[in-house]
Amino acid sequence: MAFDFQGIATQFVAHYYNTFDTNRKALAGLYRENSMLTFESSQSLGAASIAEKLAGLDFQKVKHVYETADAQPTATGGIVILVTGKLAVDDESNPLTFSQAFQLCQDPQGQWFVFNDIFKLIYG
Protein backbone atom coordinates (compact mmCIF):
# COMPACT_ATOMS: atom_id res chain seq x y z
CA MET A 1 0.00 0.00 0.00
CA ALA A 2 1.51 3.29 -1.09
CA PHE A 3 1.29 6.28 1.21
CA ASP A 4 2.72 9.78 1.23
CA PHE A 5 5.60 9.11 3.62
CA GLN A 6 7.34 12.40 2.76
CA GLY A 7 4.18 14.42 3.38
CA ILE A 8 3.54 12.66 6.69
CA ALA A 9 7.18 13.20 7.70
CA THR A 10 7.06 16.90 6.81
CA GLN A 11 3.88 17.43 8.84
CA PHE A 12 5.24 15.41 11.76
CA VAL A 13 8.55 17.30 11.93
CA ALA A 14 6.82 20.71 11.87
CA HIS A 15 4.37 19.58 14.59
CA TYR A 16 7.06 17.95 16.75
CA TYR A 17 9.41 20.93 16.87
CA ASN A 18 6.60 23.48 17.29
CA THR A 19 5.28 21.45 20.23
CA PHE A 20 8.76 20.96 21.68
CA ASP A 21 9.47 24.69 21.50
CA THR A 22 6.13 25.80 22.98
CA ASN A 23 4.89 23.03 25.31
CA ARG A 24 7.31 20.14 25.84
CA LYS A 25 4.91 18.26 28.14
CA ALA A 26 2.46 17.87 25.24
CA LEU A 27 5.01 15.67 23.43
CA ALA A 28 3.93 12.70 25.61
CA GLY A 29 1.00 12.09 23.26
CA LEU A 30 3.38 11.39 20.38
CA TYR A 31 4.91 8.37 22.16
CA ARG A 32 3.57 5.01 23.39
CA GLU A 33 4.57 2.64 26.20
CA ASN A 34 6.96 0.75 23.89
CA SER A 35 8.60 3.92 22.51
CA MET A 36 12.27 4.61 23.20
CA LEU A 37 14.21 7.87 23.32
CA THR A 38 17.99 8.10 23.28
CA PHE A 39 18.84 11.71 24.16
CA GLU A 40 22.58 12.39 24.19
CA SER A 41 23.23 8.67 24.94
CA SER A 42 20.71 8.57 27.84
CA GLN A 43 17.85 6.15 27.19
CA SER A 44 14.21 6.46 28.27
CA LEU A 45 11.50 3.85 27.64
CA GLY A 46 7.78 4.60 27.54
CA ALA A 47 5.74 7.76 27.02
CA ALA A 48 5.78 8.85 30.67
CA SER A 49 9.53 8.38 31.06
CA ILE A 50 10.22 10.18 27.76
CA ALA A 51 7.94 13.11 28.67
CA GLU A 52 9.67 13.37 32.06
CA LYS A 53 13.10 13.39 30.41
CA LEU A 54 12.16 16.09 27.88
CA ALA A 55 10.36 18.26 30.45
CA GLY A 56 13.37 18.07 32.78
CA LEU A 57 15.97 19.38 30.33
CA ASP A 58 18.15 22.21 31.67
CA PHE A 59 16.74 25.12 29.69
CA GLN A 60 13.66 27.31 29.77
CA LYS A 61 13.41 28.46 26.17
CA VAL A 62 14.35 26.54 23.05
CA LYS A 63 13.96 27.12 19.33
CA HIS A 64 14.60 24.40 16.75
CA VAL A 65 15.38 25.46 13.21
CA TYR A 66 15.52 22.30 11.14
CA GLU A 67 17.35 22.45 7.84
CA THR A 68 16.70 18.99 6.43
CA ALA A 69 14.13 16.29 7.09
CA ASP A 70 14.81 13.24 4.94
CA ALA A 71 12.31 10.37 5.08
CA GLN A 72 12.05 6.80 3.87
CA PRO A 73 9.32 4.17 4.25
CA THR A 74 10.21 1.11 6.32
CA ALA A 75 9.54 -2.52 5.41
CA THR A 76 6.86 -2.69 8.11
CA GLY A 77 4.84 0.32 6.92
CA GLY A 78 6.50 2.92 9.13
CA ILE A 79 8.62 5.94 8.32
CA VAL A 80 12.25 6.70 9.19
CA ILE A 81 13.09 10.42 9.39
CA LEU A 82 16.52 12.02 9.77
CA VAL A 83 16.49 15.69 10.77
CA THR A 84 19.42 18.09 10.92
CA GLY A 85 19.32 21.67 12.11
CA LYS A 86 20.21 24.30 14.68
CA LEU A 87 19.04 24.62 18.27
CA ALA A 88 18.97 27.96 20.10
CA VAL A 89 18.73 27.53 23.87
CA ASP A 90 17.71 30.29 26.32
CA ASP A 91 18.19 33.05 23.72
CA GLU A 92 21.84 32.20 23.13
CA SER A 93 23.19 33.74 19.97
CA ASN A 94 25.36 30.71 19.13
CA PRO A 95 22.95 27.94 18.13
CA LEU A 96 24.01 24.32 18.51
CA THR A 97 23.92 21.90 15.58
CA PHE A 98 21.82 18.79 16.11
CA SER A 99 20.76 15.61 14.39
CA GLN A 100 17.64 13.65 15.29
CA ALA A 101 16.29 10.39 13.89
CA PHE A 102 12.70 9.22 14.30
CA GLN A 103 10.96 5.99 13.40
CA LEU A 104 7.22 6.54 13.11
CA CYS A 105 4.78 3.62 13.35
CA GLN A 106 1.00 3.36 13.36
CA ASP A 107 -0.98 2.11 16.33
CA PRO A 108 -4.01 -0.21 15.82
CA GLN A 109 -6.24 2.86 15.40
CA GLY A 110 -4.04 4.15 12.56
CA GLN A 111 -2.50 7.00 14.56
CA TRP A 112 1.16 7.75 13.87
CA PHE A 113 3.46 7.71 16.88
CA VAL A 114 7.19 7.85 17.60
CA PHE A 115 8.54 4.35 18.15
CA ASN A 116 12.24 5.34 18.14
CA ASP A 117 13.78 8.77 18.74
CA ILE A 118 17.53 9.43 18.79
CA PHE A 119 18.81 12.97 19.45
CA LYS A 120 22.43 14.07 19.27
CA LEU A 121 24.19 17.44 19.44
CA ILE A 122 26.99 17.83 16.89
CA TYR A 123 30.13 19.48 18.24
CA GLY A 124 33.03 20.87 16.26
Q: Looking at residues 76-105, what average pLDDT do you find? A: 93
Long-range contacts of 36-44 (CB under 8 A, 24+ apart): 36/115, 36/116, 36/117, 37/117, 37/118, 37/119, 38/117, 38/118, 38/119, 39/117, 39/119, 40/119, 40/120, 40/121
- The predicted structure's pLDDT at residue 1: 47
> Which tens digit of pLDDT belongs to each residue from 22-52?
999 999 999 999 999 999 999 999 999 999 9
Domain boundaries, the chain: 5-21+30-122
Span of 14-18, 83-87, 89-93 with lowest mean pLDDT? 89-93
5-21+30-122 CATH fold: Nuclear Transport Factor 2; Chain: A, (3.10.450)
Mean pLDDT across the chain, nearest whole number? 93
The whole-number pLDDT of residue 92 equals 74
pTM of the model: 0.93
